[in-house]
Amino acid sequence: MTLIQQLVKKGVLDKEKATSLEFEIKSSGRREEEVLLEKRIASEGFLFGLKSENLKIPLKEVALEEIPLKTLEFIPEESARFYQMIPISLKDNVLEVGMVYPEDLKVQEALKFLARQGKFSYKICLISLSDHKNLFKKYRSLKREVKKALEELEVEIQAEKIEKRPPTPAEFERLVEEAPISKVMAVLLRHAVEGKASDIHIEPTKEKLRIRFRLLGILHSSILLPIRIHPAVVARVKILSNLRIDETRIPQDGRFTTKVEDKEIDFRVSTFPTTLGEKVAIRVLDPSVGLKPFEKLGLARKNLEATEKAIKKPFGLILATGPTGCGKTTTLYAMMRRLNKEGVNLVTLEDPVEYFIEGVNQSQVRPEIGYDFATGLRHVLRQDPDIIMVGEIRDEETASLAIHAALTGHIVLSTLHTTDVLGVIPRLIDLGIRPYLILPTLSCAIAQRLLRELCPHCRKKVKPKKEIRDWILKELHPHTKRGQSAKGAKIGEASPPSGVGVKGIKPPKPLYIYQAQGCRKCADIGFIGQIGIFEALAMTDELSDLILEGVTEKGIAQEMVRQGMLTMKQDGILKALDGITTIEEVLRVTEE
């Protein structure tokens, strides 16, 4: 009985619909399961449950980590993909094979053949389509693949006997172009993209070539390769990104695009000479990671209010601050995408252009030929812009041009190198901006950090220890710390709290925090991505008076309290109480 017939019998489908579906399946030559799932006729669990009942083959749920790598060897990757089956376990020389289509004769034949060849017997269970898709990743284990590519390389090197003497330039070039090195690189790039790594580091050490990946902000040591292949790997990267292969003494920058899993991904390359040879850093510019929509940045509460207000204003300067890698570029890109509408001329000056945004005039500055932010800005202003994004304000000229542009009716987005928002106004004054010019132009300053976002599927809710609880309450309610009178009640007490950051926010009582665990959905990491914590300072009349009186960071801090702004730490703590992140993460990025 087909699945459709069973669905009709169960009353899930009516006859008419069933006939049209049957026709569609027949004429498209597609599998019944795929079509039913695509049309959301029934859930996958339900369909495969029916199928299991009908075929009398047990349905099994298997987790990726339950399959030993060695077991995989019994069925080659290509067959596993083509026939949609996967070896799950091996006991007493009986291989348990999970199949999506055990009823398919061709699939049965293929398995029989493999069993004869590999001299094993087998038993069959049913697995769902999505489980197969997921389990298939096991074949892609990085180490396995790199090892395989390296073994091929080893064979070739030995065959050519070039290991006993240094390769001639011609041999070297051939080696670099050859499949194994390209394969090693391809595997590394794909692994980075699939694993959502932001950077790949290729580093020579004395004995090994170390490959590290930055995952959710943290650098992980992944594999060690033989140091012999170092020159070939570096050369391969250089060929990809059009850099000079023979130049190893000075740093070089480049970029290349390649297809990974049907997605065009950009990689930004930087080489750097170290005493042990060239180190290569590759930034993965995956738009699905770097081009976050505004709503997903992590802006919340007062911070969101202040930022939204600023981008709705027809002109003004919006500044994002924080150290390198804190996500401020992502924030600016998100704002630009909000502002990028038909009928608006949005021009950028970037160093470098990270992501391409449809409809935005993006320009890469080249300081080495005199095209820097300041020169660029002067030209941009002649381009009849509405909105301008300048990568960074780091000199007096750029600062004054940016302020001028904002004063003359443009929205100007930029970054400034200060650690928090308290430093923004003093820094602008340092850069020669007159205080009375800051007042009408600065719409909003935002500082931020990135921290890891908890996996919602496995995070564990716990009661914080007393010290942590006390620390949370103290940080959310810093009046006493700053020597001011606390106007409101403490968090957790009956009356609503007021003052910094806690206006209108009443944390649940008792207080809970969350811990990272690890599950199938998050590849056992416990975290699924990164999210920003912010502090935003909006220009107010009170702040204006303060600036004219001669501004100090302390004065600005008091104004922030008055505005009811959250500090990054407070924003982080509130996110930890919401289960978005952990207290450890908040401490990691704010207690520096």
- 460 scored as a contact of Zn ion (CB under 5 A): no
In this complex, which beta carbon is closest to Zn ion, that of residue 30 or of residue 457? 457
Burial of 412 from C-beta contacts in 10 A (0-12 / 13-18 / 19+): buried
In this complex, which beta carbon is closest to Zn ion, that of residue 350 or of residue 453? 453
Applying the rule CB under 5 A, the residues between 174 and 213 that interact with Zn ion are none
Question: At its nearest, how many Å lie between Zn ion and the CB of residue 518?
Answer: 6
Q: Pick the closest to residue 187 from 146, 147, 152 (CA basis).
A: 146
In this complex, which beta carbon is closest to Zn ion, that of residue 182 or of residue 515? 515
- 546 scored as a contact of Zn ion (CB under 5 A): no
Q: Which residue is nearest to Zn ion (CB)?
A: 455
In this complex, which beta carbon is closest to Zn ion, that of residue 412 or of residue 455? 455
Taking CB under 5 A as the binding criterion, the range among 26-34, 178-186, 310-318, 457-465 that sits at the site for Zn ion is 457-465
- 146 scored as a contact of Zn ion (CB under 5 A): no
Say whether the peptide bond before residue 87 is cis (omega within 30 degrees of 0).
no
- 458 scored as a contact of Zn ion (CB under 5 A): yes
Question: At its nearest, how many Å lie between Zn ion and the CB of residue 545?
Answer: 50
| Residue of the chain from 137, 220, 457, 554 that contacts Zn ion (CB under 5 A) | 457
Question: At its nearest, how many Å lie between Zn ion and the CB of residue 519?
Answer: 3
Question: At its nearest, how many Å lie between Zn ion and the CB of residue 520?
Answer: 7
Distance of CA 585 to the CA centre of its chain: 16
**Tokens representing 151?**
């073994």
Question: At its nearest, how many Å lie between Zn ion and the CB of residue 462?
Answer: 16
Instruction: Say how far apart CA 379 and CA 404 lie, in whole Å.
Output: 13
Question: At its nearest, how many Å lie between Zn ion and the CB of residue 218?
Answer: 17
DSSP symbols for 430-497: HTT--HHHHHHHEEEEEEEEEEEEEPTTT-EEEPPPHHHHHHHHHHH-TTTTTT----SPPTTSSSPP
Cα dihedral 423, 424, 426, 430 in deg (nearest 10): 120
In this complex, which beta carbon is closest to Zn ion, that of residue 233 or of residue 528? 528
Question: At its nearest, how many Å lie between Zn ion and the CB of residue 457?
Answer: 4
Question: At its nearest, how many Å lie between Zn ion and the CB of residue 458?
Answer: 3
- 3-state secondary structure string across 53-98: HHHCCCECCCCHHHCCHHHHCCCCHHHHHHCCEEEEEEECCEEEEE
CB 60 within 8 A of CB 98: yes
- 437 scored as a contact of Zn ion (CB under 5 A): no
Q: Pick the closest to residue 412 from 368, 346, 360, 353 (CA basis).
A: 346
* Residue 493 backbone dihedrals phi, psi, to 5 degrees: -85, 170
Strand partners, 209: 204, 225
Q: Pick the closest to residue 498 from 486, 507, 508 (CA basis).
A: 486
Question: At its nearest, how many Å lie between Zn ion and the CB of residue 62?
Answer: 17
In this complex, which beta carbon is closest to Zn ion, that of residue 137 or of residue 482? 137
Applying the rule CB under 5 A, the residues between 476 and 535 that interact with Zn ion are 519, 521-522
In this complex, which beta carbon is closest to Zn ion, that of residue 455 or of residue 577? 455
In this complex, which beta carbon is closest to Zn ion, that of residue 326 or of residue 580? 580
Residues touching Zn ion: how many (CB under 5 A)? 6
Instruction: Say how far apart CA 298 and CA 522 lie, in whole Å.
Output: 20
Question: At its nearest, how many Å lie between Zn ion and the CB of residue 64?
Answer: 12
Instruction: Say how far apart CA 550 and CA 547 lie, in whole Å.
Output: 5
- 64 scored as a contact of Zn ion (CB under 5 A): no
- 285 scored as a contact of Zn ion (CB under 5 A): no
In this complex, which beta carbon is closest to Zn ion, that of residue 232 or of residue 455? 455
Instruction: Say how far apart CA 588 and CA 184 lie, in whole Å.
Output: 34
- 240 scored as a contact of Zn ion (CB under 5 A): no
Instruction: Say how far apart CA 443 and CA 439 lie, in whole Å.
Output: 9
In this complex, which beta carbon is closest to Zn ion, that of residue 379 or of residue 457? 457
Q: Which residues bind Zn ion (CB under 5 A)?
A: 455, 457-458, 519, 521-522
